[in-house]
């Protein structure tokens, strides 16, 4: 038995109860990366624990792959993929573009997913066949848009500084061809793409929990999300998402130097 929308909402609500009270209140930050900066907060850890508790109680035969705590049952048919706060840097900076990502894999494929932004009150959900939005302006089904050509596209990436030298040159070729580019929105960029507000997201260095909820959201809204070499994105890595096949193919040619 697979979960329904109500169960996903209960997971997001549980995470919200841990993250929102700690937002913009000067929460303590721990650095996970020696020689760099990879922040984690008490909110990250508490939110993931809250999600895990509900999953274990309701679906004890499911596996869990999370960012902040040990993964379990990764050989099982159904696996939850959790990022309690995607965009921790935004979270600790008081910028409301972070989100809670809750995805479900079945047979190795991302099939359902939810993106929640508690501060703005927006929630994006992929139910297995369609993608939906609920928030301040109501609730409705969402779909990607087709801007026609990459010259008309709006492009997002978290930061151009995330790319290595070679990857930066690949990314720059794409950026040079779009109408508008913006930085710093983490998972929110993918939600905006699924909702038809932007056309292209290009990033690298993503982990499975960074994309687990986003894959079904984009695909069930009619979009495309793959690795830079055209493979399935469930394992993360260098990722491209697009609202139309034409823009996707143009961007892929640019990434490949064609």
CA distance 130 to 117: 20
Q: Which helix (H) or strand (E) holds 79?
A: strand 78-86
- Output the pLDDT for position 29: 72
pLDDT tens for the chain, 258 residues long, are 789 999 999 999 999 999 999 999 977 777 665 556 566 788 989 999 999 999 999 999 999 999 888 899 999 999 999 999 999 989 999 999 999 999 999 999 999 999 999 999 999 999 999 999 999 999 999 999 999 999 999 999 999 998 988 999 999 999 999 999 999 999 999 999 999 999 999 999 999 999 999 999 999 999 999 999 999 999 999 999 999 999 999 999 999 998
242 within 8 A of 147, measured Cβ to Cβ: no
What is the pLDDT, as a whole number, of residue 69? 87
What's residue 2's pLDDT? 84
> 87 φ, ψ to 5°?
100, 45
The token pair at 148 is 């026609």
Q: Which regions of 90-170 does DSSP assign to beta strands (E)? A: 99-106, 109-117, 122-126, 131-135, 138-142, 154-157
| Conformational region of residue 221, where left means phi above 0, alpha means psi within -120 to 50, and beta covers everything else | alpha
Residue 121: per-residue pLDDT: 97
Q: Which H or E run includes 189?
A: helix 187-194
How confident is the model at residue 67, as a pLDDT?
Answer: 83
**Hey, CA dihedral for 111, 158, 167, 169, is it positive or negative?**
positive
Number of H helices, E strands in the chain: 8, 14
pLDDT at 164: 87
User: For residue 44, which of 57, 32, 60, 55 has the smallest C-alpha distance?
Assistant: 32
Q: Which two structure tokens, joined as six digits, stand for 111?
A: 């099939």
CA distance 184 to 118: 18
**Residue 20 DSSP label:** G
Residue (of 79, 73, 130) closest to 102 by Cα position: 79
Cβ–Cβ < 8 Å for 166, 121:
no
Name residues whose C-beta falls within 8 Å of residue 186's C-beta, 6 or more positions apart in sequence. Answer: 86, 87, 90, 97, 98, 99, 158
The whole-number pLDDT of residue 204 equals: 95
Write down the pLDDT at residue 41.
84
């Amino acid at each position: 038995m697979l979960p329904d929308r109500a169960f996903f909402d209960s997971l997001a609500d549980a995470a919200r109860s841990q993250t929102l009270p700690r937002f913009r209140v000067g929460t303590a930050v721990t650095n996970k990366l020696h020689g760099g900066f990879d922040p984690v907060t008490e909110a990250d850890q508490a939110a993931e624990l809250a999600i895990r508790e509900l999953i274990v109680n309701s679906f004890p035969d499911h596996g869990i792959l999370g960012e902040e705590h040990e993964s379990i049952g990764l050989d099982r048919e159904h696996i939850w993929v959790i990022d309690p706060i995607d965009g921790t840097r935004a979270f600790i900076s008081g910028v409301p573009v972070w989100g809670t990502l809750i995805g479900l894999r079945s047979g190795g494929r991302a099939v359902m997913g939810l993106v929640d932004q508690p501060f703005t009150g927006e929630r994006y959900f992929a139910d297995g066949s369609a993608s939906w939005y609920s928030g301040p302006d109501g609730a409705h089904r969402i779909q990607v848009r087709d801007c026609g050509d990459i010259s008309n596209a709006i492009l997002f990436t978290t930061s151009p500084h995330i790319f290595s030298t070679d990857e930066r040159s690949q990314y720059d070729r794409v950026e040079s061809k779009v109408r508008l580019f913006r930085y710093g929105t983490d998972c929110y960029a993918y939600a905006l793409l699924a909702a038809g507000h932007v056309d292209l997201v290009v990033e690298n260095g993503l982990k499975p929990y960074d994309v687990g909820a986003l894959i079904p959201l984009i695909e069930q809204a009619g979009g495309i999300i793959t690795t830079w070499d055209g493979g399935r994105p469930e394992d993360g890595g260098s990722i491209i998402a697009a609202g139309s096949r034409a823009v996707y193919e143009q961007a892929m040619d640019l990434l490949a130097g064609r």
